[in-house]
Amino acid sequence: MNKIITFLKQSNRYKHLIGGLLVGIVALNPWTAMYSSLIAASCLELKDKLKGCYWDWVDWLMTIIGGLISTIIWCLV
């Protein structure tokens, strides 16, 4: 459990996970939840890239996972 918490604290990954979840919940549909979290993840990483940082695939994936969780929630509702 400690390893998971340490992993999520690196590079604000928990914020990416929560952000993807919130974007997906607001999308009001399972398909648009996944699509909007994918767009949000790409926009966040593009912003980092334009500011001189590198494209962090793990942060991008954490945002997508948040969207996937919200998609599952929408399918269950």
Query: What secondary structure letter does DSSP report for 51?
Result: T
Q: Is the pLDDT of residue 3 over 90?
A: no
Are the C-beta atoms of residues 70 and 40 closer than 8 Å to each other?
Answer: no
Entry pTM: 0.86
Q: Is the pLDDT of residue 64 over 80?
A: yes
Question: pLDDT for 22-50, tens place per residue?
Answer: 999 999 889 999 999 999 999 999 998 99
HSE-CB for 70 with a 13 A CA cutoff: 28
